Structure 1
Amino acid sequence: MMKLAADLPDTHTLRELMQLLHEEIGLPEHKTISLRTSINGDLGCNGSDAQHLMETLEERFGLELADYDAYRYFQPAGNDPHFKRSAKGRGDKVPLTIGMLYAAIQSGQWDTRTLEG
C-alpha cells in the first residue's frame, strides 16, 4: 500500500488522480506521496510516459492543456538526436507536482503562471 501524506485533501478528485498516477506511472511504496511530490523529479516520469499521462488527464478530467508546455517539465520521448539537442538547450526542468496537477484539474485548465506561482 502506498504511503500518503497526512495533509493530502480527502476528495474524490484527488483519490481519482492518485489512482490514475498509480496506474500510469506507478507510485513507489517506500516514498510518502504528498502534493509536493514531483512526478518528473521524484517519480522519474518522462518522455512517452509523461505524454501519455497528460493525454489521459486531459481525457479523464476534461483538462484544458492550451497553456501546457511539456518541455518545461519533461525530457522528450524517443531517441531523435536532433530533438534531444534542441530540447537540452531548454535548461533544467521545472518540478511538476501532484499539487499542480490537482489544482489544474480543479480549475479545469493548465495555467502555467498560476500553477507554478
Structure 2
Amino acid sequence: MPNSVWENLESFVRMEAGLSQRKTLTRALDLERDLDLTGDDADDFMGKFFEKFEVKHGDFEFSRHFCGEGFNPFVVLGFIFSAKLRRKYDKEPLTLGMLEKAIELGIWDSQELGRSAGNQMGR
C-alpha cells in the first residue's frame, strides 16, 4: 500500500497513463514529452489529478504545458519558416516532480513549482 506522496503519485500516474510497473518513473519525467500525455488525455489526467489529490487549481493554465488535440500538416510546415510559430508550440515542461510538489503545497503555484522543479531533477 503506497504511503508517501511520491508512492501515491506514482501509483496514480501508472493507472491513469496506462504505464507498466517496468517503466521507471522519475521526478524529471515530463508528462507530454516523456509520457505522451497530450490534448484531451492530458486534460482528463490533470482533472483527475486535481480531484484525487485535492490540489486547488491556483494559477494552472493547461495551454502553458500542453498542446491541443489534433495534427495539422500546415502547422508542421510553418515550423520550418516561423520561429514565432515554433515558440507558440514550445510548452513549459510539467514534470512528475512538479505534481509531487503541488500535492505537498495543496495548490498549483506556477512560480513555486518552477523554482522547485530544478531542485527536484536529481531527486
- TM-score of the pair, normalised by structure 2: 0.71
Candidates 104, 109, 114, aligned match of 2:107: 109
Residue segments in structure 1 that go unaligned for 5+ positions in a row = 1-9, 80-86
Residue segments in structure 2 that go unaligned for 5+ positions in a row = 72-84, 116-123
Which deviates more, 67-76 or 18-27?
18-27
Separation (CA, whole Å) in 1 of partners of 2:35 and 2:109: 22
- TM-score of the pair, normalised by structure 1: 0.74
User: Does the alignment pair 1:45 with 2:37?
Assistant: yes
Q: What's 1:74 paired with?
A: 66
User: Does the alignment pair 1:22 with 2:14?
Assistant: yes
Q: Residue type of the partner of 1:42?
A: D
Deviation at 1:116, TM superposition (A): 1.1
SS state at 1:32 partner: coil
Contact 1:104 1:110 in 2 (8 A): yes
The number of residues matched between the two structures is 102
Separation (CA, whole Å) in 1 of partners of 2:87 and 2:19: 30
Distance 1:13 1:29, change over 3 A: closer
Deviation at 1:77, TM superposition (A): 3.2
What per-residue deviation string (whole Å, max 9, x for no partner) do you get for residues 70-91 of structure 1?
1111112367xxxxxxx97734
Contact 2:10 2:25 in 1 (8 A): no
Distance 1:15 1:74, change over 3 A: same
Deviation at 1:31, TM superposition (A): 4.7
Q: Residue type of the partner of 1:69?
A: E
Deviation at 1:12, TM superposition (A): 2.2
